[in-house]
Chains A and B, each alone.
Chain A
Amino acid sequence: MTVTPIVSVRNASVVYGKTVALHDATIDIAKGDFLTLLGPSGSGKTTLLNSIAGVVPLSSGQILVEGTDMTAVPPNRRGFGMVFQNYALMPHLTVFENIAFPLRIRHMDSSQIRTKVMEALDLVRLAGLAERRPKQLSGGQQQRVALARAVVYQPKVILMDEPLGALDKQLREGLQGEIRHLHAMLGATVVYVTHDQEEALSMSTRIALISDARVCEVGTPHDMYFRPRSVFAAGFVGTSNLLKGRYRGDADGWSTVELAGGGLVRGAPTVGLNTGAEVTLMLRPEAIDLATLDDATAGLNLLEGEVADHSLQGTTWRTVVAVDAQTRIVVQRLSRVARSFPVQSRVRLCWRPEDTVILTH
């Protein structure tokens, strides 16, 4: 790969007095990426976004834009666009003037401004509202104006800080689609901050998981969900069952793990483990099936237990199986095809060895 990333964050740290807001973050953003910074609140994801924007100065490290060091360049000369959770539209200007603002700063002539603003308004489907004031619009409409304002001058990168955080669920889903559509249509590069893992999974081309002021894992949504590399990632992204155990060596091409509560299971081959090492197994609820004690289950991992709870979620049955006093495993199976099991019945949990992810930290 010799392509220069559009933004490169190198060993960036932000320290306020004794508080470390960002520690040694390194990440590359390629042209056309939709990179989501995902993490719990207070994890440092907004600090990372703001330091890319130039709003928060770095204590150490560098921000490169297309290979040029921009660490000391003020935000207005970085050529980015930004969208905030609380819209941040200028209340004294009309929708038209809000969107025209970045173009006026760039001394574009007024006929060109009119064309560009109208295009941007069409793009976010607000063509009729150009002369309204922001406070005359709904939250969703205001955020679409903010999006139009952030894309109208074709910035190199569009930064979004929890742009859908203030909207209700239905609006949020609608706007998620619109933002993805904008990203695809404009070929834009987006850096997106959210604490909502479903949003991160459904929108991003890549996710950077942020925890405790650090970038702890970067990967595609698919990898992050099916092949997380840390217990934190497994727990934060999606629902997961985490089981403690000890590594007991490889057999038949699988890594075997002895569970803390007893029982031997096979997992995806994992390199660099010492026999006896403590590991955590991750199982997604939808990777597990339930069977009666006399169903055929050749080649699968098996664990016996008792149904503790069984409820219909709509698309799926959600069944909680108590394996022993401490361990409860959540199973989700498509309600249209899967059998229902009454509470207290004895069942077998069965799943494929390749769906077992072995984690060491």
Chain B
Amino acid sequence: MVDHISLPLKIAAGLVFAFLIAPSLIVIPMSFSDSREIMFPPSGFSWMLYREYFAGPEWVAATIESTLVATGVTALSLATGVPVAYALVRSRLFGVAIIRAFVMMPMLVPTIVFALGLYIYFARLGISGSTLALILGHSVHNLPFVVLVVIAGLRQVNPNIEVAAQVLGASVLRVFFSVVLPMIAGPIAAAGMFSFLISFDEVVIAWFLSSPRTMTLPIKMYSSIQWEVSPVLAAISTLLTLLSLVICVLGVALRRPEA
């Protein structure tokens, strides 16, 4: 597909790409530094910073909190997003376009505004600062992403398969659970992984909704950089980059439904 692109254009694109990705990659050599100070290039090789991360109770607590939140978000955003996507693709009802726009809203509203809204709303409900608030907030934020990935998968599925199953005797619910879900298991898994990653990585909403008891990893990283510029951040960033990479590769591989 890229064969017809001319060489100068390829070089230009490569330079832009390198410029964009360089800041992400620069932390990788730094994470193996043996120095207490952040410096580039690193003076020597060691696993010191990784040991510091895994041995630090605060870092571990934040990682557990992030994992907990992201897992809850994955479950909740899939449980709501998959049926919504199915309804949006298959329904011929009047007003589907309006519902679709409504579902996509969290993607269009500036995150900071969205986060502020959630903060005020959850304070009113008396759940601000809790893990539940983080899960709910991130789930709404991730819903459009889940819905988009699942819709893309569903569009590849021949609707007559569902019609055939129904004529053969399966109820609408049975068709959904034993025909539709298995066919789009790949896209659902991809959507789940992306949802996990987005939540794990998210700063703005988490900043508004977390408390010292429920500090997620990115929030912990952000606050730590304000007090002391700890080189541990390089190790954590490298691990996060690795996680993103693995999830993105798996996600892209799984995105298409079985056909």
Contacts and interface: CB of A to CB of B under 8 A. Distances in A.
Contact of A90 (B161, B166, B172): B161
Q: Give the one of A76, A105, A153 with max B CB within 10 A.
A: A76
A90 B165 contact: yes
A57 to B, nearest CB: 11
Interface string B159-179: 011011111111110100001
A88 interface: yes
A129 B179 CA distance: 21
Nearest to B92: A16
A89 B185 CA distance: 17
A222 interface: no
Given A86-B160, A89-B161, A90-B161, A75 B166 contact: yes
A135 B179 CA distance: 16
Main SS class of interface, B: helix
Interface string A97-117: 000011001100000000000
Nearest to B257: A91
A221 interface: no
Interface residues of B, number: 21
A105 B170 contact: yes
Interface string B237-259: 00000000000000000000111
B167 A76 contact: yes
Interface in A23-57: 53-55
B168 A90 contact: no
B183 interface: yes
Contact of B168 (A91, A102, A135): A102
Contacts of B169: 76-77, 79, 102, 105-106, 153
A77 B166 CA distance: 9
B163 A105 contact: no
Interface of A: 53-55, 74-82, 84, 86, 88-92, 101-102, 105-106, 135, 146, 149-150, 153, 159
27 contacts: A53-B163, A55-B166, A74-B166, A74-B172, A76-B168, A76-B171, A79-B169, A81-B167, A81-B168, A82-B168, A84-B163, A88-B160, A88-B163, A90-B161, A90-B183, A91-B183, A91-B258, A91-B259, A92-B183, A92-B258, A101-B170, A102-B168, A105-B168, A105-B169, A135-B259, A149-B164, A153-B169
Cβ-closest 9 pairs across A and B: A88-B160, A102-B168, A88-B164, A82-B167, A105-B169, A92-B182, A91-B258, A84-B160, A88-B161
Given A76-B167, A88-B160, 7 more contacts: A76-B169, A76-B170, A101-B168, A102-B168, A105-B169, A150-B168, A159-B167
